[in-house]
Amino acid sequence: MIIGPKEPLLVVDDLKTYFFTRQGVVRAVDGVSFSLTEGETLGLVGESGCGKSVTALSILRLVPEPAGRIVGGRILFQGENLLEKSESQMRQFRGSRISMILQDPLTSLNPVFTIGDQVGGPFKYHRRGGETRDITQKVVDVLKRVRIPAAASRLKDYPHLFSGGMRQRVVGAMAIACEPRVLIADEPTTALDVTIEAQFLQLLKQIQQEIGVALILITHNLGIVARICRRVAVMYAGRIVETGNVHRIFENPAHPYTKGLMDSVPRLGEKKQRLVTIPGQPPDMSTLPPGCSFWPRCEYAQEICRQEYPPESRLGEDGYVRCWLAEKQTQI
Interface positions with other proteins (CB under 8 A): 60, 62, 66, 88, 90-96, 99-100, 102-104, 107-113, 121-122, 125-126, 149-150, 153-154, 156-157, 161, 171, 174-175
Measured from the CB atom, the residue of 65 and 270 that comes closer to other proteins is 65
Give whichever of 63 and 232 is closer to other proteins, judged by the CB atom.
Answer: 63
Minimal distance, residue 241 CB to other proteins, in Å: 27
State which residue, 183 or 235, has the beta carbon closest to other proteins.
183
Burial of 125 (0-12, 13-18, 19+ CB in 10 A): middle
Residue 320 dihedral angles phi and psi, to the nearest 5° = -155, 165
Helix (H, G, I), strand (E, B) or coil at 252: coil
In the complex with other proteins, the residue whose CB is nearer, 178 or 325, is: 178
Distances (CA, A) of 219 to 12, 89, 253: 19, 29, 18
Question: Phi and psi dihedrals of 273, rounded to 5?
Answer: -75, -45
Q: How far is the CB of 115 from other proteins (least distance, A)?
A: 11
Min dist. Cβ of residue 173 to other proteins (A)? 12
- In the complex, minimum distance from the CB of residue 275 to other proteins, in angstroms, rounded to a whole number: 31
Phi, psi for 173 (deg, rounded to 5): -60, -40
Task: Quote the least distance from Cβ 95 to other proteins, whole Å.
Answer: 4
DSSP of 275-324: ----SS-PPPTTSPPSS-TTGGG-TT--HHHHHS----EEETTTEEE--H
Q: How far is the CB of 127 from other proteins (least distance, A)?
A: 11
N residues, the chain:
332
How far out from the chain centre does Cα 322 lie? 20
Cα 313 from Cα 32, distance rounded (Å): 15
Nearest one of 46, 61, 51 to 288, comparing CA atoms: 51
How far, in Å, CA of 325 to CA of 198, rounded? 37
Q: Of the two residues 110 and 307, which places its CB atom closer to other proteins in the complex?
A: 110
- Closer CB to other proteins, 191 or 241, in the complex: 191
Between 162 and 294, whose beta carbon lies closer to other proteins?
A: 162
For the bound state, the minimum distance from the C-beta of residue 179 to other proteins, rounded and expressed in Å, comes to: 13
Q: Counting beta carbons within 10 angstroms of the beta carbon of residue 251, is it exposed (0 to 12), middle (13 to 18) or buried (19 or more)?
A: exposed
